[in-house]
Amino acid sequence: MNTKSAQLYESAKQYIPGGVNSPVRAFRSVGLDPVYIRQGEGSALFDVDGNKYVDYVCSWGPLILGHRDPRIQRVITEQSARGTSFGANTEIEVRFAQRITEIYPSIDRVRMVNSGTEATMSAVRLARGYTGRNRIIKFEGCYHGHGDSFLIKAGSGVLTLGIPGSPGITEGTARDTLVAEFNNLKSVEKLLDAHKGEVAAVILEPVMGNAGLIPPVDCFLRDVRRLTASREVLLIFDEVITGFRLGLGGAQEKYGIRPDLTCLGKIIGGGLPVGAFGGRKDIMAHLAPEGPVYQAGTLSGNPLALHAGFETVSILQKENPYPLLEERAQALEQGIRENLAKLKLSWTSNRTGSMLCFFFTDQEVTTYKKAMTADTALFSKYFAAMLKRGIYLAPSQFEISFVSTAHTETDIERTIGAHYDSLKEIL
C-alpha cells in the first residue's frame, strides 16, 4: 500500500536498524508495516495519512490523562522558556522527591534517572552493593528493560519477537540471573534454598504487564515478601507500569506490600523520558556520593520531565480519577466478555484497574506458560481488523491496553462494537 506511513518506513530502514528505535514498533509480529503518528489529542491518535484512532497504547502507559492535556502542556511550555536542561540541581527535583516519599511509605530516599531501564539496572546494582551478593532472581515473562540481567526469559519485545535472550549477554551475567515462575511461590523458595547466601534481590513486576496482563494470585506477593525478608534478600518492585496507575501508591498500596526498593517511570514523566528508584534510607545511603555504589546521569532530574510528571501527579492527587478509570476499564472488559459470549467463544481477558489484556486462549492466564498458549496468528488478524476500524492497540499479543481519563463512554462503546465486528471478520 503506497501510504505515507509505508514510504516513511521504507526510508527509515535505510538509516535505522529495522527502521525503528524500539523493536515492537516495527509491527513485525502482526505482519504489517508500522503506522507513523502525526499527533495525539485526548484519547485519539492521528497518523500521517490522516487516519484517526482511539488510542489504547497511551505511549505504553504514561499518558494517564490522555494526549496533550492542557495543564501538562502549560508546565512544559513554561519550563522550556526558562531552559530545557542545566546539568545542575533544580528546585523541582527536591519537590518531586519529597512528593514521592510522601505517597510511597516504602521510599525514604529516591534517585531520579532517565528511563525505567536505568531505574531497574541501578536498583539491582545497588542491591548487589548493599548485600555483597551477586545473584538476583527474576521471573520468566517479566520485563525490566533491556539491561543484561533482565533479557533472560524476558517479556515485552523480547517475547513478541520470539527472542529467547540476546547475544551480547555474558555467561557470567546469565549465571548470576536465576529465573522463577510468577505466581509459583515454590519456585522462588527452591531457588533461595539452592543459592543460600548468594541472592542479593528478587525483582518482579507486582502485576505482570509484558507477557500480557497477569495479576498476582492469592497471597503470592505477601509470601514473596515473607520469604525474602526471612533470608535477608532485598525485594524490588518494578512499578514502572503500575506506579501511580493502579492507584496513587501503585501496586504496593493496592496489595499492602512494602518492598525494599521500588522502580518508577512512565507516569512520573508526564509523557517525557524519566525513571526513578528509591527505598529504605539505609539502602539508598550506599549510593554515591554518599556511599560507594556509583550511579550518575547527565540528564537525570531533567526539569522538563520533572515538571510534567509533578503536574501529572498533582492532578492525580487532587482529582482522584481512579474510580472513573476503573469504571471505564470495567465497562470495556464487560463488553469484551459479552461479545465472546454472543459468539460462543471461550477466550480470556485479564484486567487490573485501568490495565487490561485480551488473550486468544481459553485458559485462565495466571502464568507465563499459560500466556504462551495464546494464538498469536489469530491476534495478528484481530489487530489488523481493529486498526482498520480505528482502534489502536499495542501490536503484540503480549502487551497490554491502557485506559486514560480522556477515554469517553463513546470511545468505550465504539471499541466494544469494533471488537465484536473484528471477531466476526476473522473467524
Split at pLDDT 50, 70, 90, the class of 153 is low
Sign of torsion, CA 250 253 255 257?
A: positive
Please state the rounded mean pLDDT for residues 194-202: 97
Catalytic residue among 254, 266, 370, 381: 266
Please state the rounded mean pLDDT for residues 178-205: 97
Q: Is the pLDDT of residue 165 over 70?
A: no
Instruction: Kindly state the percentage of the chain with pLDDT values over 70.
Output: 96
Catalytic residue list contains 238: yes
Pick the CATH number of 70-318 from 3.40.50.300, 3.40.718.10, 2.60.40.3080, 3.40.640.10: 3.40.640.10
Q: Is the pLDDT of residue 319 over 90?
A: yes
Please tell me the CATH superfamily of domain 4-64+321-426, with its number.
Aspartate Aminotransferase, domain 1 (3.90.1150.10)
Please state the rounded mean pLDDT for residues 280-301: 96
Catalytic residue among 55, 176, 238, 260: 238
Catalytic residue list contains 266: yes
Q: Are 46 and 37 in contact (CB under 8 A)?
A: yes
Confidence (pTM):
0.94
pLDDT tens track for 237-256: 999 999 999 999 999 999 99
Q: Which residues, 6 or more positions from 406, have their beta carbon under 8 angstroms from its beta carbon?
A: 42, 43, 65, 66, 67, 69
Cell of 425: 471478520
* pLDDT on residue 163: 44
* pLDDT on residue 175: 85
Split at pLDDT 50, 70, 90, the class of 162 is very low
Q: Is the pLDDT of residue 1 over 80?
A: no
CATH 3.40.640.10 residue ranges of the chain are 70-318
Q: Is the pLDDT of residue 185 over 60?
A: yes
pLDDT tens track for 14-39: 999 999 999 889 999 899 999 999 99
pLDDT tens track for 105-150: 999 999 999 999 999 999 999 999 999 999 999 999 898 887 777 7
CATH 3.90.1150.10 residue ranges of the chain are 4-64+321-426
* pLDDT on residue 93: 98
Task: Give the largest Cα separation in the chain, rounded.
Answer: 61
Mean pLDDT of the chain: 94
DSSP string, 38-88: EEEEBTEEEETTS-EEEESSGGGTT-TT-BT-HHHHHHHHHHHHH-S--SS
HSE-CB for 269 with a 13 A CA cutoff: 24
Cell of 131: 548485600
Q: How far apart are CA 67 and CA 39, in angstroms?
A: 9
